[in-house]
Homo-oligomer: A and B are copies of this chain.
Amino acid sequence: MRVCRSLAEFQILRKAIPPVKNVGLVPTMGALHRGHLSLMELAKSQCDIVISTIFVNPTQFGPNEDLSKYPRQEIEDIKKLEQSKHVDYLLLPTVEDVYPKGFSTFVNVEGIDEQKEAKSRPGHFRGVTTVVSKLFNMTQPQKAYFGAKDAMQCIVIKKMVRDLNIPIEIVIGQTLREPDGLAMSSRNVYLSEQDRKISTILYKSLSAAEQLWNLGKGSHCEVHTSASNLVQEILKVLSQEPSVLVDYISVGSRADGSELSIVDYHEGAIISLAVKLGTTRLIDNIELLPK
Q: A residues touching B (Cβ–Cβ < 8 Å)?
A: 7, 19-20, 102-112, 129-130, 133-134, 137-138, 140, 159-160, 163-167, 256
Nearest B residue to A20 via CB reads B19
Contact of A165 among B102, B134, B163, B165 (CB under 8 A): B134
Chain B hits for A129, CB < 8 A: 105
Nearest 10 interchain pairs by C-beta: A19-B19, A105-B163, A137-B165, A104-B111, A104-B110, A105-B109, A138-B165, A134-B165, A105-B160, A137-B166
**B138 and A104 contact, CB distance less than 8 A:** no
Chain B hits for A103, CB < 8 A: 163
Q: Separation in Å of the A192 CB from the closest CB of chain B?
A: 40
Question: Can you list 11 A-B contacts (CB < 8 A)?
Answer: A102-B256, A103-B163, A104-B110, A104-B111, A104-B159, A104-B163, A105-B108, A105-B129, A106-B108, A107-B108, A108-B108
Whole-angstrom CA separation of A110 from B126 in the bound complex: 13
Contact of A140 among B7, B111, B160, B167 (CB under 8 A): B167
**A133 and B164 contact, CB distance less than 8 A:** yes
A112, A164, A166, A167: residue with the most chain B Cβ atoms closer than 10 Å = A164
**A134 and B164 contact, CB distance less than 8 A:** yes
Whole-angstrom CA separation of A127 from B160 in the bound complex: 16
- Excluding A103-B163, A105-B163, 16 further A-B contacts by CB distance (< 8 Å) are A7-B165, A19-B20, A104-B159, A104-B163, A105-B107, A105-B109, A105-B110, A106-B107, A106-B108, A106-B110, A107-B107, A107-B164, A134-B164, A137-B164, A137-B165, A138-B165
Whole-angstrom CA separation of A140 from B167 in the bound complex: 9
Whole-angstrom CA separation of A221 from B19 in the bound complex: 56
Whole-angstrom CA separation of A112 from B111 in the bound complex: 23
Nearest B residue to A97 via CB reads B165
